[in-house]
Chains A and B, each alone.
Chain A
């Protein structure tokens, strides 16, 4: 009976949870029969007279709905994905209607809806702006590329992100490829909206000088593209970037404005909230239907409609309703970071704010503070804290960073943003009045100046962000500890808190004793170049090569450092420069400035590139030890991991004119498992290794020189005889690596080949006995 009452209190919370569990179930199991059985069971339970069983029936039914919804969505998505894979890299003819136009760094991208082809969307890249608008039809030809999945662990997964939005690929027109534009002369809702957005944007830019125009567009239209990059960075570093991404906060401000407007219209009670509902709908459409905006708008709508039904709204139930509403129509949003953060934030604000109000001493309770301004600031601080408490594990799991200053920054920035949103709306509606536009525009300018002053100042503190990384395990532990704290403060439920703590301790000890004996090796996808991270069982880290750096890309900054951050690595114990070519050491230039390095391994060969010299100078002036290992040396890295240096032979390396043959080559051994790293060694070097004979035998081979024909001789491969080989190579590189002949050598020996250009990074893990692949995407 108690259960039924609990359900009755907030039915939508339990219903949406059941639906969400169903969605997750559907993600892992795809059985139609299972869904039917589940649904039938649920249906049967509905025909009982016992309330408890009836409630279970409802939940089981919803569970089966969720599973079914996810299964059908996944089937469709996988079908489109396979279509995209099929057409990947082919020249295709396309015809589609423009749904969205966006400016990118390198040109423009048009989102085309391909009515005649599977109903999917693609991005069409164009260097210049075409003379066309949303809903016009574009016809042409170009090379189709599927959306690439994440290349390295921790990287943002654009494939899932775009696939959730029904976008499955890119089309790059050939040079001089002609695009035919068929104008649409009929009314089109999407175009109408985009025209309004454009008008509002120009209106803001006309009236609000400086950065204010861009900020207003971001706040009211949810379009950050007009905000200057340095301002955006300062918002990121201070942890207030969320105010620039339209979210529930902005809906809150809009609601305040709408409630003021509502009362001006003097409509009869009940009808008056049509103003609010319409306003919210317009705001949702104008900002492009983001999950967080829809969530907050549904909540606000349900809230203002409650009195019409002579009821009062329960906030938790309304959150459940909003989740259910969104997930019914867009089930894949469950995996969307925006969706997750939005619900996590609103949930933890409500829960922890109330919790603070009960456990804090009376003096610190917001409701007990008499000074109005003080009450406001303290309240805002607690709201900000409450939001952080709940979202911290997720944000640090995803971004690997915790902006400490965010707590204080939010207290200052959030109300200022509110003022700016208010001014923005007045400017929007009253800006056409002569003089009014000037006054409002300039006050917007002033407020945005104050805001950017704060964010710039805050982001200058070096302690403002700390790098922490939550593994999934830590996220669970964090919430368990949080839960136990809440229980411990409640006298009646204290025992539950103790239970949780005991469970947490148990899990931790268990995890400690079992899990810490693994060697991790990640071969990164750094395009045309090499980079691998080795993490020893004792958590010491070796970085072997660092990827290329050129005028266009810096793999050290863009790939290696983010991955080190993601893994929570703050110190590199060894960095191996297998040889000083820039596709192997280029990335190190950025890395040395960001992360502490203990020892640097270098070859004997004299080299004079600026990249190399920069690194050596940096090492010299910062006390980094430089080692030059030579063949025959054994290095013990930790208790049970050692490394056998096979090359270079110092004499050979110095006399050899080919720098590649100076590469440091070594075999990393952990227990019975071994991995051979070969740098860019070519066949002259290969030959020198042959005398090692059986010592060359390894489980995994990092293929030399990106699979070039000049390396990986038959004799060498026969001796190494790996089960798995890794070719670190860029997609369609100008050297045409890897060579088909070399690939044939692997194939004939039945050696598995992992190519980073095709499959992204490879993460393998050894327990000393076996090596297995770690799935990271």
Chain B
């Protein structure tokens, strides 16, 4: 088995040389797309519940994030979102799941991802948050259900909006499609900025009877800079 795997990676590396997506140096004959020195270079955030620091946190019980949106991690997110690299999401999910464990939350029954609107989904071909969630579910052995939340409305890009505008933008954007009564749901996304998106998700989940809603993202801009 080991031999087959070695041969597989050897052949794969001939066709697609495995270069680190951040520093473009060789990663080696394996599944990883980011080299270990780049991982070390990323700015890891202190493991703490940052729900209090979010500008919008209604409905969220706890929020965790793992890496600062700098030192090359911004490139990683860009790759994940715009380069058709869905599997990178899973890889990052594994890594995230090792950094932050289920024990850091009060309880988790089910994992879901912030959904993409279907137009955007069609353009991109995948939902990067969903793939992060799959990675987490694999490593934590907790069920992942992408169909808990549904996006009803096309929302404009959040990047240029301020806090109030973001909240207004997000109102009634989501609905709950599954039974979440008395369950603790973990909502996964790639980047956590003001919290308005995840908070909108949390509110509808809570309204549908969810016991707890937790948020986990790969990255967040450093709080101090925010």
Residue positions of A touching B, CB distance < 8 A:
5, 8-12, 15, 262-264, 266, 269-270, 272, 302, 306-314, 317, 321
Contacting pair B86 A269 (CB below 8 A): yes
Q: Among B12, B15, B86, point to the contact of A270 (Cβ < 8 A).
A: B86
Binary A-proximity of B45-82 (CB < 8 A = 1, otherwise 0): 00000000000000000000000000000000001000
Contacting pair A8 B122 (CB below 8 A): no
Give chain B residues whose Cβ lies under 8 Å from the Cβ of A5.
26
Contacting pair A263 B15 (CB below 8 A): no
B83 at interface, CB cutoff 8 A: yes
Give 10 closest A-B pairs by Cβ, nearest first. A311-B16, A269-B126, A310-B87, A307-B84, A269-B86, A11-B14, A263-B122, A307-B85, A269-B125, A306-B16
Give chain A residues whose Cβ lies under 8 Å from the Cβ of B123.
263
Contacting pair A307 B21 (CB below 8 A): no
CB contact list, B111-130 vs A, under 8 A: 122-123, 125-126
Contacting pair A307 B86 (CB below 8 A): yes
Give chain A residues whose Cβ lies under 8 Å from the Cβ of B125.
262-263, 269, 272
Contacting pair A11 B122 (CB below 8 A): no
Give chain B residues whose Cβ lies under 8 Å from the Cβ of A314.
16-17, 19
Q: Among A12, A272, A310, point to the contact of B31 (Cβ < 8 A).
A: A310
Contacting pair A321 B15 (CB below 8 A): yes
Binary A-proximity of B83-96 (CB < 8 A = 1, otherwise 0): 11111100100000
Where chain A touches its partner, the secondary structure class is: helix
30 residue pairs of the A-B complex, CB under 8 angstroms, read: A8-B13, A9-B17, A9-B19, A10-B17, A11-B13, A11-B14, A11-B17, A262-B125, A263-B122, A263-B123, A263-B125, A269-B86, A302-B15, A302-B16, A306-B16, A307-B83, A307-B84, A308-B87, A310-B87, A311-B16, A311-B18, A312-B16, A312-B21, A312-B79, A312-B85, A314-B16, A314-B19, A317-B16, A317-B17, A321-B15
Contacting pair B122 A310 (CB below 8 A): no
Q: Among B15, B18, B83, point to the contact of A12 (Cβ < 8 A).
A: B15
Give chain B residues whose Cβ lies under 8 Å from the Cβ of A309.
12, 16, 87
User: Known contacts A5-B26, A272-B125: does B83 contact A312 (CB below 8 Å)?
Assistant: yes
Can you name the residue of chain A whose Cβ is closest to the Cβ of B130?
A269
Contacting pair B26 A310 (CB below 8 A): no
Give chain B residues whose Cβ lies under 8 Å from the Cβ of A308.
87
What's the Cα separation between A269 and B33 when bound, in Å? 19
Where chain B touches its partner, the secondary structure class is: mixed
What's the Cα separation between A307 and B124 when bound, in Å? 13
CB contact list, B1-56 vs A, under 8 A: 12-19, 21, 26, 31, 33
Give chain A residues whose Cβ lies under 8 Å from the Cβ of B12.
309, 311
What's the Cα separation between A264 and B16 when bound, in Å? 28
State which size class the interface on B falls in.
Answer: 20 to 34
Give chain B residues whose Cβ lies under 8 Å from the Cβ of A8.
13, 17, 26
Name the distance in Å between A191's Cβ and chain B's nearest Cβ: 35
Can you name the residue of chain B whose Cβ is closest to the Cβ of A269?
B126
Give chain A residues whose Cβ lies under 8 Å from the Cβ of B17.
8-11, 314, 317
Given contacts A306-B16, A310-B91, 6 further A-B contacts (CB under 8 A): A272-B125, A309-B16, A311-B33, A312-B83, A312-B85, A317-B16
Give chain A residues whose Cβ lies under 8 Å from the Cβ of B15.
12, 302, 317, 321
What's the Cα separation between A312 and B86 when bound, in Å? 12
Give chain B residues whose Cβ lies under 8 Å from the Cβ of A272.
125
What's the Cα separation between A455 and B91 when bound, in Å? 53
* Most chain A CB neighbours (cut-off 10 Å) among B19, B84, B91: B84
Name the distance in Å between A65's Cβ and chain B's nearest Cβ: 15
What's the Cα separation between A266 and B118 when bound, in Å? 10
What's the Cα separation between A270 and B126 when bound, in Å? 9
What's the Cα separation between A10 and B126 when bound, in Å? 29
What's the Cα separation between A309 and B19 when bound, in Å? 13
Can you name the residue of chain A whose Cβ is closest to the Cβ of B24?
A9
Can you name the residue of chain B whose Cβ is closest to the Cβ of A316?
B17
What's the Cα separation between A229 and B224 when bound, in Å? 72
Can you name the residue of chain B whose Cβ is closest to the Cβ of A268?
B126
Name the distance in Å between A586's Cβ and chain B's nearest Cβ: 59
What's the Cα separation between A15 and B79 when bound, in Å? 29
* Most chain A CB neighbours (cut-off 10 Å) among B15, B91, B122, B126: B15
What's the Cα separation between A8 and B26 when bound, in Å? 8
Q: Among B14, B19, B85, B126, point to the contact of A310 (Cβ < 8 A).
A: B85
Give chain A residues whose Cβ lies under 8 Å from the Cβ of B26.
5, 8
User: Known contacts A5-B26, A8-B26, A263-B125: does B13 contact A310 (CB below 8 Å)?
Assistant: no
What's the Cα separation between A15 and B15 when bound, in Å? 11
Give chain A residues whose Cβ lies under 8 Å from the Cβ of B79.
312
Name the distance in Å between A199's Cβ and chain B's nearest Cβ: 31
What's the Cα separation between A307 and B21 when bound, in Å? 12
What's the Cα separation between A311 and B84 when bound, in Å? 10
Give chain A residues whose Cβ lies under 8 Å from the Cβ of B18.
311
Give chain B residues whose Cβ lies under 8 Å from the Cβ of A262.
125
Name the distance in Å between B202's Cβ and chain A's nearest Cβ: 27
Contacting pair B13 A313 (CB below 8 A): no
Give chain A residues whose Cβ lies under 8 Å from the Cβ of B84.
307
Can you name the residue of chain A whose Cβ is closest to the Cβ of B31?
A310
Name the distance in Å between B11's Cβ and chain A's nearest Cβ: 10
What's the Cα separation between A266 and B122 when bound, in Å? 7
CB contact list, B163-217 vs A, under 8 A: none
Name the distance in Å between A298's Cβ and chain B's nearest Cβ: 11
Can you name the residue of chain B whose Cβ is closest to the Cβ of A263?
B122
Name the distance in Å between B126's Cβ and chain A's nearest Cβ: 4
Give chain B residues whose Cβ lies under 8 Å from the Cβ of A11.
13-14, 17
Give chain A residues whose Cβ lies under 8 Å from the Cβ of B122.
263-264, 266
Name the distance in Å between A402's Cβ and chain B's nearest Cβ: 38
Name the distance in Å between A18's Cβ and chain B's nearest Cβ: 13
What's the Cα separation between A308 and B15 when bound, in Å? 13
* Most chain B CB neighbours (cut-off 10 Å) among A309, A311, A313: A311
Can you name the residue of chain B whose Cβ is closest to the Cβ of A318?
B15
Can you name the residue of chain A whose Cβ is closest to the Cβ of B79?
A312
Give chain B residues whose Cβ lies under 8 Å from the Cβ of A9.
17, 19
What's the Cα separation between A264 and B18 when bound, in Å? 31
Name the distance in Å between B12's Cβ and chain A's nearest Cβ: 6
* Most chain B CB neighbours (cut-off 10 Å) among A15, A262, A266, A309: A309
What's the Cα separation between A772 and B26 when bound, in Å? 56
Name the distance in Å between A52's Cβ and chain B's nearest Cβ: 15
Give chain B residues whose Cβ lies under 8 Å from the Cβ of A317.
15-17
Contacting pair A310 B33 (CB below 8 A): yes
* Most chain A CB neighbours (cut-off 10 Å) among B14, B83, B91, B122: B14
What's the Cα separation between A302 and B91 when bound, in Å? 21
Give chain A residues whose Cβ lies under 8 Å from the Cβ of B31.
310
Can you name the residue of chain B whose Cβ is closest to the Cβ of A7?
B17
Can you name the residue of chain B whose Cβ is closest to the Cβ of A266?
B122
What's the Cα separation between A272 and B124 when bound, in Å? 12
Give chain B residues whose Cβ lies under 8 Å from the Cβ of A313.
16
What's the Cα separation between A9 and B16 when bound, in Å? 9
Name the distance in Å between B138's Cβ and chain A's nearest Cβ: 14
Q: Among A15, A263, A264, A307, point to the contact of B87 (Cβ < 8 A).
A: A307
Name the distance in Å between A302's Cβ and chain B's nearest Cβ: 7
What's the Cα separation between A314 and B24 when bound, in Å? 11
What's the Cα separation between A10 and B122 when bound, in Å? 33
Name the distance in Å between B167's Cβ and chain A's nearest Cβ: 31
Give chain B residues whose Cβ lies under 8 Å from the Cβ of A310.
31, 33, 85, 87-88, 91
Name the distance in Å between B96's Cβ and chain A's nearest Cβ: 16
Name the distance in Å between B42's Cβ and chain A's nearest Cβ: 18
Give chain B residues whose Cβ lies under 8 Å from the Cβ of A15.
14
What's the Cα separation between A313 and B16 when bound, in Å? 6
Can you name the residue of chain A whose Cβ is closest to the Cβ of B126?
A269
Name the distance in Å between A566's Cβ and chain B's nearest Cβ: 41
Name the distance in Å between B135's Cβ and chain A's nearest Cβ: 12
Name the distance in Å between A461's Cβ and chain B's nearest Cβ: 44
What's the Cα separation between A8 and B85 when bound, in Å? 22
What's the Cα separation between A8 and B27 when bound, in Å? 11
Name the distance in Å between A582's Cβ and chain B's nearest Cβ: 63
Can you name the residue of chain A whose Cβ is closest to the Cβ of B131?
A269
What's the Cα separation between A311 and B30 when bound, in Å? 11
CB contact list, B138-178 vs A, under 8 A: none
